[in-house]
Structure 1
Amino acid sequence: MLDLVQLRSFLALEQMGSFTLAAEKLGLGQSTISQHIQRLEVSLGRRLVARDTHRVALTADGEALLGHARAMLAIDSQVQALFTETKLRGRLRLGVSEDFVATRLTAVLEDFVRAHPSVDLELTVALSGVLYLQQDNGEIDLVLAKRRLGDTLGRLIYREPLIWLARDPDAVASRSTLPLIAFPPPSITRSVAIEALDRAQLPWRVVCTCGSLSGLTAAARAGMGILVQPRSMAPAGLKEMPPGRLPVLEDVEFVLVPRKGADPRLVSALSDEIFAKVGSLQGVV
């Protein structure tokens, strides 16, 4: 029979991508996580994790185990919740900015859903400005989105720089009019980019507009122009513009904004999970 403690360490390692971060997530020593993985591999007679000096990745057998491990821990959580009087119930309407969804939302939701199986999540993905408008209309209970420097809305999670990205940065920067790929208004990254170009008196035009980050990324990978994103959320296949070619962009801040009147227990539970998970990911590539 598989050990649930070992499976929990296995899932934490897959989520965090390193033994150090998995240990921090579970509040265990790094050697303990390593022992759990080794014992799990011995019990199954298969190698589950490929290790090198740069990263930790699952083997094919590890990938095959992943879904079953999640299911077993989900059942364990459901049984625990069934006999716990303080379990959370209800519906929480969560609004998340497009770029955060593409990079980090899975890791946040996985542990929350496992710990609170009786909570129903209604997820809305949109631009930060749109999410705030929907929240003002009472349609969203908790917003996880960006704000500009100097704004006081919400509770700060972290701050990071915006960068210029393109398939071939030098070729794009050499054009007489900078081709800009951007979200439609109201978009914080769009506003920051345009204001920076106007201050530098650089000519520009928007060559592609899309409300989906995957659409913008496809346009940038096709060489249509330049895209602005938080550095840690830079899509694969794009390169950062070398310093000095374009104006430096201001940082953005990611925040949590609860709606007045939302269930404070549900908001607090998900907020705590977001702070724990996102905080542990800062500085990790």
Structure 2
Amino acid sequence: MLTIGIMRIDVGRMFGLPPGLDPDLLRTFVLIIEGGSFTRAAERVGRTQSAVSMQIKRLEDLLGQPLLVRTPRGVQPTPQGMWLLERARALLTLNDEIVGNFRSPPMVGTVRLGTPDDYALNWLPKILARFAEAHPAVELDVTCMNSDVLAQQIQDGRLDLSLISEGQEPQGWPTQRIWRGPLRWVGSPAHALHKRDPLPLALARPDNSCIWRNAALSALRAQGRTTRVTYNSATQTGCFTVALAGLAITVSTPCTLPQGLSWLGEAEGLPPLPEMGILLVRHEASLNVPVADALAAHITEGFRRAGSSDVPMAA
């Protein structure tokens, strides 16, 4: 329970949770699911595995439901655990924001963020909104460019941090992989473009610097398909526009597709595509700078919430 003046805020009740629910229990519960094991969670919270097991037992006793089950794939949530997971994450975020707001002085300054336009559209709106709400005095300077351009701007010191497609990152800079997942085909279900020969494609610029373009063309060549790139765009928005018009198919990482587009794949005779990674690259001068560190933490957490894999990489 939090008291502000004469106003009392029951954070747990806001999320339909029992009174007296300890945030530490919820944090351990979330970490177990994210890591798939009690051992990994114990390492992250600095406790023994038996202590973590006792925390989960306390949580299950308090809620009166089993929350976790061991499977060959690791520890998985039960249906009741899945219901709790989203609410636990929201409650922990609110808890941390309240505590941080009262314990830390207001953060001020400017942070320069780079991102390709497709990542900006698919991932950043909620992340930046939460950051702005938590740090209203911080100014955000966002630059949308292609990954190769952003990599150069990091090296030139024109950006503090940037999202960059894995494989196009500048060498020797502090780098963290914050997401890895499949590249997928996208097209209009109203047009049977996948049946055409040559296959019409809308892809990024034809200078061999786009990993998505290279992956799509390589997969089709391996399948023996003939292709014709009918549209070259520096942005995903441009590729989606052509796909919506029924002129070509394109590729994308998982996202919310515009109405009129659908995911395509094996059923349409298209080859599987490789996984792609998204990196968070920092300029050395931005390390240990509070505003840059705070934004990096928000970005990492936002991708984690979306099912990302937070895998550190060597600098």
Q: Same fold (TM over 0.5)?
A: yes
Which of residues 201, 219, 229 is equivalent to 1:180?
A: 201
Q: 1:257 to 1:103 in 2, by over 3 A?
A: same
Measured after TM superposition, the shift of residue 151 of structure 1 is: 10
Which of residues 203, 222, 227 is equivalent to 2:250?
A: 227
Q: Which moved more, 1:207-216 or 1:103-112?
A: 207-216
Structure 2 unaligned residues grouped into runs of 5+? 1-5, 16-82, 309-315
Larger radius of gyration: 2
Which amino acid in the other structure matches residue 183 of structure 1? A
Q: State TM-score, norm by structure 1.
A: 0.68
Q: Which residue of 2 aligns with 1:189?
A: 212
Measured after TM superposition, the shift of residue 149 of structure 1 is: 11
Q: 1:263 to 1:120 in 2, by over 3 A?
A: farther
Question: Are positions 1:261 and 2:261 aligned together?
Answer: no
Which amino acid in the other structure matches residue 179 of structure 1? P
Which of residues 126, 137, 147 is equivalent to 1:107?
A: 126
Q: Residue 166 of structure 1 contacts residue 226 of structure 1 at CA under 8 Å; is this kept in 2?
A: yes
Measured after TM superposition, the shift of residue 2 of structure 1 is: 9.8
Measured after TM superposition, the shift of residue 218 of structure 1 is: 1.4
Q: Residue 162 of structure 1 contacts residue 231 of structure 1 at CA under 8 Å; is this kept in 2?
A: yes
Q: Which residue of 1 aligns with 2:186?
A: 165
Q: Residue 129 of structure 1 contacts residue 188 of structure 1 at CA under 8 Å; is this kept in 2?
A: no
Q: Residue 146 of structure 1 contacts residue 255 of structure 1 at CA under 8 Å; is this kept in 2?
A: yes
Q: Deviations over 1:14-64 (max 9, x none)?
A: xxxx985254123289xxxxxxxxxxxxxxxxxxxxxxxxxxxxxxxxxxx
Q: Residue 187 of structure 2 contacts residue 249 of structure 2 at CA under 8 Å; is this kept in 1?
A: yes
* Cα distance in 2, alignment partners of residues 242 and 168 from structure 1: 12
Residues 136-155 of structure 1: pairs in structure 2 closer than 5 A: 136-148=155-167, 154-155=175-176
Q: Deviations over 1:211-238 (max 9, x none)?
A: 2322221110110111100123544421
Question: Are positions 1:130 and 2:149 aligned together?
Answer: yes
> Kindly, what percent of the aligned residue pairs are identical?
27
Q: Residue 99 of structure 1 contacts residue 233 of structure 1 at CA under 8 Å; is this kept in 2?
A: no
Provide the aligned length of Structure 1 versus Structure 2. 226
Residue 196 of structure 2 aligns to a residue whose secondary structure is coil
Question: Are positions 1:276 and 2:301 aligned together?
Answer: yes
Which of residues 98, 107, 111 is equivalent to 1:88?
A: 107
* Cα distance in 2, alignment partners of residues 194 and 85 from structure 1: 51
Measured after TM superposition, the shift of residue 261 of structure 1 is: 1.3
Q: State TM-score, norm by structure 2.
A: 0.62
Q: Which moved more, 1:85-94 or 1:123-132?
A: 85-94
* Cα distance in 1, alignment partners of residues 160 and 256 from structure 2: 25
Structure 1 unaligned residues grouped into runs of 5+? 11-17, 30-72
Residues 13-52 of structure 1: pairs in structure 2 closer than 5 A: 21-27=86-92
Which amino acid in the other structure matches residue 253 of structure 1? G
> Cα RMSD over matched residues?
3.4
* Cα distance in 2, alignment partners of residues 214 and 94 from structure 1: 20
Runs of 4 or more above 6 Å deviation: 1-6, 149-153
Q: Which residue of 1 aligns with 2:116?
A: 97
Q: Deviations over 1:108-158 (max 9, x none)?
A: 011111222222111001222221122122211101132149998720112
